[in-house]
Amino acid sequence: EVIVPDRVHVLWQGRIVASGGAELARRIEREGYAWLQPGAALASAQEV
């Protein structure tokens, strides 16, 4: 049996840096947490 989360909150240094549902949990399972680090979103946005 698998439990599907309703809400997911990711803490980084005591602050919530991401909130979402089951899709966020699946993305973390696929990609890990590196993309959630401060500055990672800025770096990935600049690559586009």
The per-residue pLDDT string of the chain (48 residues; one tens digit each, 9 = 90 and over) reads 888 899 999 998 898 989 999 999 999 999 999 888 766 655 444 443
Tally of CB atoms within 10 A around 24: 17
Which pTM does this prediction carry?
0.67
Tally of CB atoms within 10 A around 22: 12
Strand-pairing partners, residue 15, are 12
pLDDT value, residue 36:
84
CB 25 within 8 A of CB 8: yes
DSSP 3: P
If you search the block for the tokens 């696929």, which residue do you land on?
30
